[in-house]
Amino acid sequence: MQRLPPQADYIFRGHQDDVNCVRFFNSDKYIASCDAGGTVIVWLFQTRRPVFQWKAHTASCLCVHVYNQDKLVSQGRDDRIYVWHLDFATDQSPQVVYTLPYYSLNFCQLSLYQTKVDRTLICFPSKGDTPLVDIYDLTDQRWVVQSIGDQDNAKRRLCMTVQFLPCDNDDVVHLLVGYESGDAALWQCHLGSTETTLLWQAHLHDKPGKSTP
């Protein structure tokens, strides 16, 4: 007997284009979502209604992240990463507080990580047709490590997905990267220097890797 699909408890209606990313934040009190038209919506989960809705990018918005409760990072196909201030006290429209140009060739969503010493890091592919990735510090507004890779880069081809992994040592970060070749690699990056170490790699798929857990 064929099972019926589960019924939705509630449908959030607001986006006019395909939704690319959804994030819960502030202890699941709010939801942030973005779509292929460049629109970002912040929802109050209890009421299921938008608190903020705005055109964040002139092209598709690939992903959103929220940190420090009131800072939203949006990544667009318009080659821009924006940091927005969310003013929940006055409901004023979100304002851009920082802009970081980048290269959006391969549709790879950025990863965000907050260390125990309150540093907010983001990782995304390096500029160009490349498997290399960079780490940027939003707190200090500077590059931490650039062009993470090794002699096997040509075999891996484009970077398709990146994901920070939790680490107990604040001097290093672990970064899981999936590539167009179907390979995955785990890198250890030292935040106080440009040193990177390949901890593990494997060929996992015959097709490009699209996501990392």
Predicted confidence at residue 118, as pLDDT, reads 83
Rounded distance, CA 176 to CA 162, Å?
6
Q: List, in order, residues 6 or more apart from 212 with CB less than 8 Å away.
A: 161, 162, 163, 176, 177, 178, 184
Rounded distance, CA 76 to CA 25, Å?
20
The pair phi, psi for residue 156, each rounded to 5°, is: -80, -30
Rounded distance, CA 117 to CA 128, Å?
32
Residues, the chain, total? 213
pLDDT in tens, the chain (213 residues): 688 888 888 899 999 999 999 999 999 999 999 999 999 999 999 999 999 999 999 999 999 999 999 999 999 999 999 999 999 998 799 999 999 999 887 789 999 999 887 899 999 998 876 789 999 999 999 999 998 988 777 777 888 999 999 888 878 999 999 998 888 999 999 887 888 999 999 887 766 655 555
| Cβ-based neighbour number of residue 169 at 10 Å | 12
- In order of their start, the domains of the chain are 1-101 (2.40.128.630), 109-213 (2.40.128)
Is-above-0.85 flag for pTM? yes
Rounded distance, CA 135 to CA 148, Å?
9
Residue type, 26: N
The pair phi, psi for residue 186, each rounded to 5°, is: -110, 120
Predicted confidence at residue 207, as pLDDT, reads 63
